[in-house]
Amino acid sequence: PIAHNDVRGGLLWTTGFIATFILTETTLYWRIRLAHQMGECVLRDLRNVMMRHLLSHPLAFFHARKHGSLISRMIGDIEQMRNGLQNNLFITLVQAGQMVGAAIAMLLIQPMLFLVLLAMAPIMWAINRHFRSRILDASRTQQESFSRVTAALAETVQGIRVTQGFAREETNAGIFSRLVYALADNVVRTSRLVALFLPLLELNAQAFLAALIAVGGWMAVATGGSADALDLVTFFFLANLFFNPITLIGTQLSEATLSMASAERYFRILDTAPAWQDTSTAKDCPPLQGKVVFSNVHFSYEPDRPVLHGVSFTAQPGEIIALVGHTGSGKSTVVSLLSKFYLPDSGEIAVDGINLNAIRQQTLRAQMGFVFQSNFLFSGTLADNVRQGKPGATDEEVLAAFKALDCLDLIES
């Protein structure tokens, strides 16, 4: 339009350019917005599903696992999955779409040169397969190492009284330092694999681009110039559009494999079924009078290491029973079995003549009060903690509970 002094054509081209720019930026805005919105919705559901699944497990599940490792699943692994959903997935889809579009256009323009391009596929597949498995293994190790660091930190904070009581500050700091160094080494190992993988992709792409130029030049000379120069230039432009995403997709591989490793760890916990649940015939617990009967109860936390051997006793309503014995004799175990935190290996436990197996565990515990050996306070006020057993308790009921426990001075002070 400029060469022909075409003002109208120039305005149309300018308008088209501006419209294309606005469309591109608008598309980018919606892509980023939808990617984050979709990612947050998915991760919100993943966290809720994981929390409900964890709460469905009996006490033995948590005793057999480090709490920091479970926290790592909920926080670190899901956060890593966020990167895969919000960043890698959409970028990879856009770049893959660009490659497909460029490939179709090249096939229509120069089928012969496109065959040269197809020869690249087996080499790319072999490189990707070789490095993908190794990067995935390294990513798994990296996430497991991160989990150990989180677990060590959680244990140190939770057991700070024991740490300081036994003067283990330097010892625990040394253990944590070794775990952190191991994590750094694993991250570096993953980075080395990625650093080797990307140049090989780039080298392969440049080699085939050079091959395309050589074959295209040969076609132009061999046909005496009959090959359309414009088609060749267009083909090489499309080839650049095809090769550029390959390096970018390769760059995403590191984060993508970390996301895959995190997803594996997440679903490994989610696929772990509870060791036991209430039976389908279990019913809500009726109002209890408090008669407890243990009949020849046997129990062990681990196979071949029994804790209770045929325990039998009866406690009448209102009767005070004291269990006396040395540490590890099973006193706390009896209370845990009565609370249905565990199921006995054999024998029967009944409350008011009802076998505990016939009662839903939550409705049973709702009628019981516990004073544990080690106290735990949830975030919030003292009143909030008192309301844990009865969320709708009034202020008067809370004060009455403090008075009954002779703890009213905690409120008044």
Half-sphere exposure of 286 (CA within 13 A, CB side): 9
Strand pairing partners for 299?
Answer: 308
pLDDT score recorded for residue 348: 93
Domain, as residue range, for 318: 292-376
Share of the chain above pLDDT 90, in %: 7
Report if residue 285 sits inside a domain: no
Tokens of 210: 């050079």
E-assigned strand segments in 356-404 = none
Average of pLDDT values for 226-243?
72
- Give me the number of domains the chain comprises: 2
At residue 394, does pLDDT exceed 80? Answer: yes
Please state which of the ranges 114-128, 140-154, 282-296 shows the lowest mean pLDDT. Answer: 114-128
The chain-wide mean pLDDT, for the chain, equals 81
pLDDT score recorded for residue 147: 84
Characterize the bridge pairing of strands 305-315 and 346-351: unpaired
Report if residue 278 sits inside a domain: no
> In whole angstroms, what is the distance from residue 303 CA to residue 39 CA?
43
Tokens of 27: 């598309």
Q: Are residues 262 and 299 in the same domain?
A: no
> In whole angstroms, what is the distance from residue 379 CA to residue 374 CA?
17
Q: Compute, in degrees rounded to 10, the torsion defined by CA atoms 231, 232, 234, 237.
A: 170
Report if residue 356 sits inside a domain: yes
Report if residue 108 sits inside a domain: yes
- pLDDT tens digit sequence for 271-288: 888 888 888 888 888 888
- Cα–Cα distances (Å) from 253 to 6, 39, 248, in that order, read 49, 19, 9
Q: Are residues 133 and 236 in the same domain?
A: yes
Contact predicate 371/325, CB 8 Å: no
pLDDT score recorded for residue 292: 92
364 or 372, higher pLDDT: 364
Q: Are residues 203 and 333 in the same domain?
A: no
Using the CB atoms, write b or e for 215-254: b if 16+ within 10 Å. Answer: bbeeeeeeeeeebeeeebeebbebbebbbebbeebbbbbb
pLDDT score recorded for residue 2: 47
Output DSSP code: residue 351. E
At residue 225, does pLDDT exceed 60? Answer: no
Contact predicate 102/241, CB 8 Å: yes
Positive or negative, the CA dihedral 46, 49, 51, 53 is negative
Q: Are residues 87 and 132 in the same domain?
A: yes
Q: Are residues 244 and 306 in the same domain?
A: no
At residue 174, does pLDDT exceed 80? Answer: yes
220 or 66, higher pLDDT: 66
Output DSSP code: residue 320. -
- pLDDT tens digit sequence for 307-354: 898 899 999 988 888 888 888 788 888 988 998 888 999 999 999 989
Report if residue 124 sits inside a domain: yes
- Cα–Cα distances (Å) from 355 to 289, 341, 352, in that order, read 14, 15, 9
Q: Starting from the edge strand earliest in sequence, which strands make up the sheet with 354-355, in order?
A: 305-315, 292-302, 346-351, 354-355
For 378, the 3-state DSSP assignment is: coil
The most confident of 9-13, 268-272, 384-388, by mean pLDDT: 268-272
SS3 content of the chain, % helix, strand, coil (to 5): 70, 10, 25
Q: Which residues contact 297 (CB under 8 A, 6 or more apart)?
A: 308, 310, 311, 312, 337, 344, 346, 347, 348, 349
Report if residue 402 sits inside a domain: no
For 269, the 3-state DSSP assignment is: helix
Please state which of the ranges 43-47, 227-231, 302-306, 400-404 shows the lowest mean pLDDT. Answer: 227-231
Contact predicate 85/32, CB 8 Å: no
- Cα–Cα distances (Å) from 178 to 171, 182, 185, in that order, read 11, 6, 10
pLDDT category of residue 117 using cuts at 50, 70 and 90:
confident
Q: Are residues 346 and 219 in the same domain?
A: no
Contact predicate 195/107, CB 8 Å: no
> In whole angstroms, what is the distance from residue 169 CA to residue 167 CA?
6
Average of pLDDT values for 111-131?
79
Tokens of 166: 């036994």
- pLDDT tens digit sequence for 17-62: 788 778 877 877 887 788 778 878 888 888 899 889 988 888 888 8
CATH assignment of the domain containing 60? 1.20.1560.10
pLDDT score recorded for residue 413: 58
State the helix-helix crossing angle for 111-118 and 229-270, rounded to 10 degrees: 30
Q: According to DSSP H, which parts of 88-119 are helical?
A: 90-109, 111-118
Q: Are residues 263 and 299 in the same domain?
A: no
Report if residue 146 sits inside a domain: yes
Q: Are residues 337 and 227 in the same domain?
A: no
227 or 360, higher pLDDT: 360
Q: Are residues 97 and 237 in the same domain?
A: yes
Q: Are residues 218 and 343 in the same domain?
A: no
Q: Are residues 79 and 160 in the same domain?
A: yes
Strand pairing partners for 355?
Answer: 350
State the DSSP string of 190-253.
HHHHHHHHHHHHHHHHHHHHHHHHHHHHHHHHHTTT-S-HHHHHHHHHHHHHHHHHHHHHHHHH
Report if residue 157 sits inside a domain: yes
CATH assignment of the domain containing 370? 3.40.50.300
Q: Are residues 231 and 310 in the same domain?
A: no
Q: Residue 280 — φ and ψ, nearest 5°?
A: -65, -20
pLDDT score recorded for residue 323: 86
For 310, the 3-state DSSP assignment is: strand
At residue 1, does pLDDT exceed 60? Answer: no
